[in-house]
Structure formats: structure tokens, C-alpha cells
Structure 1
């Protein structure tokens, strides 16, 4: 009897966000280790990148290629409308071909960055509704969630979560947010972010380098009216902090987490104008971790830049743009080293950074302990996935072992 499961992975994967792709990489590592015979493919934002990088077949998430471009002309608006209807059929047809669909990590149940309800929230709803109707198990694995004010977005997110066959979260705040939105979370578990399951690079030789992870930050979904002001203050504050480090003779390595972040890197390099400031070319979370492992310390904004820094064991200060960053830092024992990304105060940031470096040896020991705990907890997460999503495969393995 053939028990090979047909597994789909779903999300804004291969679209330039390193955190999303790192979550995918962690899930693929789990599937290849635990279910090497599984047939895996993706419905995602960047199918060409996913196929080239991870060696799995991939299909474009949206029928309309201009889905994430602003539509003003009548033809473009009409194409978006038609695309929403076509995607109903496309998503259902794709879901039907699978036994299990996994949404790997990502902040799919939050709106901490600008988000329109008829973009990804609508796509996620189509996925979960198709899974429910067609009896394909849809699993939201280690996902992020947050309170959502916009009513259409909140409604789609709540329905998606309710329709999913399995849910787990990357922090308690996420589970609490879904409970507050009316989702029964009694059986939902919390585990560390999936990126903590990726291999850890060896530590580098201390050389005084400070890694600064930047972000093309304009605030969240509720900050649209003051987005440009938030962006300007973030870039100016971060630039002044980098300049202060350079004036002390510290090498600064700028990191990104998404393709859009390069504009901030360029702005800082142009403003500081020093050979001590360089930019790292990173194409994956593994690349990010290598850079961070070689640094003495780090300051980071993007959530998965923080994850990589903490997993690499590097003392890190968070430029926090959402509660998830504060929760992550607290979980890893660095809760007092957070600074608001919306209100960057270079002087205060420099004070916090100096305090961080004074505690460097102690913080590295703390991170070693917390990383060991995270690894154990993620092993529990994958064991739970085996039991919930692949019961037939597990029964077949057990039968072979006893025969």
C-alpha cells in the first residue's frame, strides 16, 4: 500500500522576504527527515525562486500577475477583480491534489505591516475554506498573529484560523490575539519560531564588528496617515546611531531581511560616508546567521533578523516595531534590550547598546541555554505534526517496525 503523503506548502514564499523563506526551509528540512517519500510542491508568491532554491515544483499564488501593484486604470482594476474570482477555482484545484497543506510560520494572522484585506488575507481564506470543503488538512504551523482593527481583514483572518485543521503559534501573544478574535485556541500550542530549527553556524572571531539590521519601515497597518514621518524618523535615528559607532572606530555591517530594505542601506551608507560601513549580501537566513555569528553584537529591526541574531548567540538589541519583537526578546532572556522603532532616540539607543555590550559574556551564556530549550521545543512541534497531520504514515511506520 502506498502511504506517501502529498504535501503542499503555501504562502508568500520566494518573494524576497528571507524570514518567510527561512520558515519554508525549516519545514522542508522536517519533511525530508521525517517523511522523505512525501511529494511536496508549493503555491507561492515566487514560484521560480522556490523551485530553483529548494527543488520543489511551485505554482504562482495569484492568477493576476499585477496583484501587488497599485491599480488605477480601469483595465488593471478589472483584471484584479477577475483574478479574485479565478483564484477561487485555482486554489481549490491545487488544494484538492494534496493530503496536507502546511503554511510554514510567517505572520499570516497579523497586520503589523501595511496590508489590504483582499490581498494575502483573502488568499489565506481561500486556502482554508478549500481545505475544509475538500477535506484536505490545512495546518498553520508556528504562525504569528496580532490584534487587527480593520474589520474586513480581521474577519478574513478569523475565518481562516477557524477553518484550519491545525494551528500552532510562535509566541503566546499570537495565541492570545486569536483567542480575543473569537477563535477556540484550547488545543493550540505555542512553540519557538520555526527558524530556530535551522542549523546554527559556528561563532566567528571577535573583531569589533556591529551588525545593524535595517528595514524599509513605515509603521503598521494603522499608521498609514503618518507612514512617511515614521519612515523618516526611523532612517534618521538609525543613521545617527551608525555614525556614532563609526566615530568610535567600530566597523558596522548593514543587514537586510527583504529586497525592499536596500533603499535604507543605501541611505545610511550615503549619509555616513565611511569605509567602516559596509553592506552584506544575504540571500537566506543561513547567510544572515553567518554574518551575525561573526559579529560582536547586533542591533536589528526585522523580526527574523532578531531570530537569526539570537539563534547565532550574538548579544542583540531590538529596534522593536511590534509586540512580537518584544515577546521574542523576553523569551530569549534579553527583554530589557528593546528600543521603539517608531521613536528612535539615537542617544538613548547608544546608551542601551553600551549596556548590552557590558553584559556580553553573560548574555551569550543565556542565549546558549535558551537556544537549547528552543531546539527541544521544536522537536516536540515536529512530533506533534507527525501525529496530527500524518497518522497513516505513522501507522505504516509502526507496522513495519513490529513486523
Structure 2
């Protein structure tokens, strides 16, 4: 694919990619698959959180998102605080220089317009604003593709997110509540569309379920951005309820496989293994969303918290119960026909969770058929999304394609 002057189109991908969150990396993988299939001549590179991982795993050049290497460490000393402050200024020029080198920048999926987990405005929201403002000023089209959004209480964060969305050249959302949230924040969403999460475009694993196996996806859950005062209380209740649930499964003789979706979830796995000392409980080691999908495909049933653990299980066609921490999880479960199987992560009740789990298992065969149908529809919708993306971002390529197809 080339631009009007005959040079290859330069495409950047942007986000907290390669930083340990398997869901984010799965969204990147889906977009790279689209670019390599539909625009194989495009020159692609990344501005991201984990450039070494992205460059090695996806074979594209990658640049570190932040000039200051300690960006996501708490700054308490004067030197660290000064370094962070200087980094914010340097990143203005670094981001603009990177954006200038591209014709198109894609933000692949991720919850970039939400604050459902603890988030500071001067962290990723500031970085996203720099990207979108640079794109508007320099004439580079910025696309927010199948992204997540949610109502935001913190005013500075809300302002940065609102202006980032307004300045983007293209927006689509992974669910209707995301679009509604942006409309409520003052963004004109009349032309914005809703498509499934990008992970549904990834290949489906072919693993066969192992009789009786339950995958339990856990999370270092401490509530949302507005729950900081109760963070430890929320985490303790979540952990205690999950431990009770796993222990009961083991007492029933069920093998349990613990899953994570981010490097920060490891302490939760360790706590459960320590509390439920049984050879029936094991922990999966996953390095990609594909690994997670294989694990969930091999299970009879999945109970999971992280959003992309849910996606992996649903994509694999495995009956799933969501321990839901945000509206996006509820919306996803409703989309896939399992809306009644949601349990609040902030108030895990092991007895009620077990009751829902047993009801889910009774309907297993029926729900597997439902998931097969919903997955086919999700793939079709994402094919439409990629067609729309080509039209919006690569008009020269779309015109050339039309000429080739003309009789």
C-alpha cells in the first residue's frame, strides 16, 4: 500500500502494549493481522509501554512511550518527582516528533477512554491527549479502534479523555455503554459505531475440554478509581470469596486451573495456592492471549474477572461466569447471550457464586451452541469494522482497490 506520492504508507500503533497486559497485546495482534492481510506494504512501528517485548514478539520497530523510565513507579523523592515533571514536558516533543513520521496512527482496542481501575490523569490519559492533539495539529489521522470507555468522575481525567476523543479522526467502541459514556461526556458520537472487541478477530483454539476442569481467572482487584479509600477492604473481600469458591470446588473433587491476564495478578494466584493447598489447584503460565484462549478452551467451565479472560473464554465457546468489576463485563456477557451469569467483584459472595456456577453447568450444552452463533456474528462484524477502517484511514488504497475491482 502506498500513499499518493508513491511512498509506502506509514502506520503507527500506540498504547500500553508489551507491558504485561495480555488483553492489550491481543488487540495489537488483531490490528497487525488486519494490516498484514489488507495493507501488506504499510510500514508499521509502535510507540508503547514495552518496546522490547513488542519488537521481539511482533517484529516491528518500537519506541518507549515515556521519556522518564520511572513513569509508573510512585515518586516520593524530590529527584523522582522532578524527573516525572521533566518527562511530561519532554514527552510533548517526543510524541509530536513520532506522530509527524506517520500517515496514520491506530490505538488498538484497550480501555483507553475509561478509569474503571485506579488511574492518574497525568499518566496514560495525558499521553493519549498528546497523541490526539499532535495528530490534529500535524495532519496525521488518529484512530481509536474498538476502544472501551466509561463515565469518569475525576475532572482532569475526564477533560483529557474527552478532548482526546474529540481530536481523533476515527472512533469506534467495543460496546454500546462505551459510546453512551462518551456522548454523556460531551463527544459527538453520531457517526461512531460499535463493534465487538478486537480479540474476537483472533484465531479460535481447537482444544478439547477436559472433563470436570474449571478455569478460574483472577485479578489483583482493588476497586475502581473512585474506590481508593476502600481499596484494601474491597481486595480482601474479593480474595476471601474467591478462595472459598476454589476451596469448595476442590472439596467436590474438581480440578481448578488459575488464570491471570496481567503480571500484577501473580500475588493473587500465590495467595490462593497457599490457602487451598491441594494438587487439584494449578496455575497456568500464559504469555499471550492465544495461550489464555487455549487454557479456557480446555475447560468445562470458566469463572473469570479480567475482561480479556472473559473474552478468551467466550471466544473459545466455553460456558462462562463473569465476576464483573465494570459495565464492560456485563455488556460483553449480554452480547454473547450469558447476561444472567454475572457476579459483582466488589461483593463476592461464595455461596451465591457457587449457586450461579452450578446453574451455568446445568445449561452447558445449550450455552455452547449460543456462543458458537454469537462468535460467528462477532467475526462478521469485525470484518465490517476493518472495511470501514480502510475507507476512513486509507482512502488512496481504497480508491486503488475499487479501480482494480471495476469491470
TM-score range, shorter chain: over 0.9
Q: Are 1:213 and 1:255, in contact at CA under 8 Å, matched by a contact in 2?
A: yes
State the match for 2:176 in structure 1.
172
Give the distance between the partners of 1:256 and 1:69, measured in 2 at CA: 22
State the match for 1:43 in structure 2.
47
State the match for 1:228 in structure 2.
232
Aligned partner (choices 68, 71, 76) of residue 72 of structure 1: 76
Aligned partner (choices 285, 289, 295) of residue 299 of structure 2: 295
Aligned residues: 403
Q: Which runs of 4+ in 1 moved over 4 A?
A: 400-403
CA displacement 1:151-183 (0-9 Å, x = unmatched): 000000000000000000000000000000000
State the match for 1:21 in structure 2.
25
State the match for 2:277 in structure 1.
273
- Please state whether the residue corresponding to 1:204 is helix, strand or coil: coil
Give the distance between the partners of 2:287 and 2:145, measured in 1 at CA: 23
CA displacement 1:44-71 (0-9 Å, x = unmatched): 0000000000000000000000001100
Give the distance between the partners of 2:397 and 2:335, measured in 1 at CA: 34
Are positions 1:155 and 2:159 aligned together? yes
Give the distance between the partners of 1:397 and 1:368, measured in 2 at CA: 33
Give the distance between the partners of 2:252 and 2:221, measured in 1 at CA: 27
State the match for 1:101 in structure 2.
105
State the match for 1:127 in structure 2.
131
State the match for 2:200 in structure 1.
196
Deviation at 1:397, TM superposition (A): 2.8
State the match for 1:243 in structure 2.
247
Give the distance between the partners of 2:357 and 2:73, measured in 1 at CA: 39
Are positions 1:365 and 2:404 aligned together? no
- Please state whether the residue corresponding to 2:311 is helix, strand or coil: helix
Are positions 1:377 and 2:388 aligned together? no
Structure 1 stretch displaced more, 200-209 or 69-78: 200-209
- Please state whether the residue corresponding to 2:105 is helix, strand or coil: strand
Are positions 1:342 and 2:349 aligned together? no
Correspondences of 1:383-398 after superposition (within 5 Å)? 383-398=387-402
Deviation at 1:202, TM superposition (A): 0.8
State the match for 2:334 in structure 1.
330
- Please state whether the residue corresponding to 2:396 is helix, strand or coil: helix
State the match for 1:256 in structure 2.
260
Structure 2 residue runs without a partner (length 5+):
none
State the match for 1:320 in structure 2.
324
CA displacement 1:328-370 (0-9 Å, x = unmatched): 0001000000000010000000000000000000000000000
Structure 1 residue runs without a partner (length 5+):
none
Q: Are 1:145 and 1:177, in contact at CA under 8 Å, matched by a contact in 2?
A: yes
Q: Are 1:8 and 1:42, in contact at CA under 8 Å, matched by a contact in 2?
A: yes
- Please state whether the residue corresponding to 2:241 is helix, strand or coil: helix
Are positions 1:63 and 2:59 aligned together? no
Q: Are 1:147 and 1:177, in contact at CA under 8 Å, matched by a contact in 2?
A: yes
Give the distance between the partners of 2:124 and 2:62, measured in 1 at CA: 17
State the match for 2:187 in structure 1.
183
State the match for 1:216 in structure 2.
220
Deviation at 1:399, TM superposition (A): 3.2
- Please state whether the residue corresponding to 2:179 is helix, strand or coil: helix
- Please state whether the residue corresponding to 2:171 is helix, strand or coil: strand
State the match for 1:142 in structure 2.
146
TM-score by length of 1: 0.99
CA RMSD of aligned residues (A): 0.9
